[in-house]
Amino acid sequence: MSTDPGTIFVGEHFMSGDEACAEGAIAAGCSFFGGYPITPTSELQERLSRRLPQVGRLFVQFEDEIASMAAIVGASCAGAKAMTATSGPGFSLMQENIGLAFMMEVPCVVVNIQRGGPSTGLPTLLAQGDMMQVRFGSHGDYDVIAYAPSSPQEIFDCTIKAFNAAEKYRTPVFVMGDELVAHMTERVVIPPLEKIELVERKRPEAASADGFLPFKAEDDLIPPMAIAGDGYKIHVTGLTHNEKGYPHIDPDTHDQMLSRMLRKIKDHRDEIIEYEEIELQDAEIVLVTYGSTARSALRALRLAREKGIKVGMLRLITPWPFPGQKIEEIKGAELIVPEVNAGQMAREIERWARKPIHRVNRLGGAPIHPQEIMNRIEEVA
């Protein structure tokens, strides 16, 4: 195992989800972290405050989450792979600048380790109550990419995927962990850097500097991104803008701009969406789940199979974009949706399933016990 502080920590480790997320950011090439401490991401930020300087990168603690989000937007415009991390109250404060990042098409990563809410709620305890906020938290129309890891290993992997997606699609990307995943400690394997696929943002060709249009998209609907200081004439704004980046307050311009921004995610959905299928081939009951709740659901599935009940599971690794077509493909099976909230993703699942579903909910503080899910399976069977 490498212990050189100037490298990633290659090898097998016993670490928490917060620590694994921090190491995932380093492996992904994160060169700037701007944040404000908040439970349950404090351990993540503490680790990055030590590790980033060790690898020649920058950690800055700001006065609040509003400044933190603004800082990573600016850092990304200057060429950094930038990230922040927070929990529910801080995530709420970030929403205006998250909207700015979407409007400016700025690649960045936001980690939200969810806890019980609303307001201060349960600072140190589990919830999954921000799943709709990540999709609709800022105002206006935009589409999001969000990952929902269910283990320390997966939060390491998803953090790398989040940076790659942010760079590839030129957009903010979210890692929607939860307190249980962040604070549990498990085996995490960190591969050598040469075995980790990394994506860099598309840059304009130097020959096009004179006539460069910073928001002129190519065939993939994604504009090359010029970096401040590279010699290109660029202008960015939160206002509706034309391909030059200058404000153009016109309904047609706004429609064309937003339509392209939405399509760059929609048209690449098949590349982005990830899910895990377990025992679906003969399932008469399907558990649709995500995050730490998937662990309880998997145990309930095993208990049900032991009793001869044909239960399968669909685990949403990317709840957004939502894999609606996969839900549509599950014909003839009853759907049970366990989640630690009042039923946020359940509404989206029911919309695509076009039939009533069954719910298992806890409003925060503790994970759903496998037996609670098993009880609902027996009721439905």
Q: How many domains does the chain divide into?
A: 2
In this predicted structure, what is the pLDDT of residue 207?
61
Is the per-residue pLDDT at 206 higher than 90? Answer: no
What does pLDDT average to over the chain? 95
State whether residue 51 is helix, strand or coil.
helix
pLDDT band at 2; cut points 50, 70, 90: very low
In this predicted structure, what is the pLDDT of residue 209?
67
16 occurs within a structural domain = yes
User: Which amino acid belongs to residue 278?
Assistant: I
223-236: burial string, b at 16+ Cβ within 10 Å, e else: bbbbbeeeebebeb
Percentage of the residues of the chain whose pLDDT score is greater than 90: 93
Q: What's the average model confidence in pLDDT over 204-219? A: 83
pLDDT band at 8; cut points 50, 70, 90: confident
Q: What's the average model confidence in pLDDT over 353-381? A: 97
Could you tell me the CATH number of the domain that includes residue 175? 3.40.50.970
- Give pLDDT tens digits for 35-83: 999 999 999 999 999 999 999 999 999 999 999 999 999 999 999 999 9
Q: Are residues 41 and 183 in the same domain?
A: yes
Burial of 64 (0-12, 13-18, 19+ CB in 10 A): exposed
In this predicted structure, what is the pLDDT of residue 212?
87
120 occurs within a structural domain = yes
Last residue in a domain, options 171, 195, 219: 195
Q: What's the average model confidence in pLDDT over 324-347? A: 97
Could you tell me the CATH number of the domain that includes residue 330? 3.40.50.920
Q: Are residues 53 and 152 in the same domain?
A: yes
177 contacts 155 by C-beta, under 8 angstroms: yes
127 occurs within a structural domain = yes
The Cα-based distances of 349 to 136, 289, 297, 322, 379 in angstroms read 16, 10, 16, 9, 20
223 occurs within a structural domain = no
Last residue in a domain, options 195, 222, 242: 195
In this predicted structure, what is the pLDDT of residue 231?
85
Q: What's the average model confidence in pLDDT over 335-351? A: 97
210 occurs within a structural domain = no
Is the per-residue pLDDT at 5 higher than 90? Answer: no
Last residue in a domain, options 129, 164, 195: 195
Is the per-residue pLDDT at 1 higher than 70? Answer: no
CB proximity list for 213: less than 8 A, separation 6 or greater:
223, 243, 244, 245
216 occurs within a structural domain = no
- Give pLDDT tens digits for 246-282: 999 999 999 999 999 999 999 999 999 999 999 999 9
72 occurs within a structural domain = yes
220 occurs within a structural domain = no
Q: Are residues 30 and 171 in the same domain?
A: yes
Tokens of 151: 């283990």
Q: Are residues 186 and 303 in the same domain?
A: no
Q: What is the secondary structure of 285-303 as a DSSP string? A: EEEEE-TTHHHHHHHHHHH
The whole domain housing 171 covers 11-195
- Give pLDDT tens digits for 157-176: 999 999 999 999 999 999 99
Percentage of the residues of the chain whose pLDDT score is greater than 70: 97
Phi and psi torsions of 23, nearest 5°: -70, -30
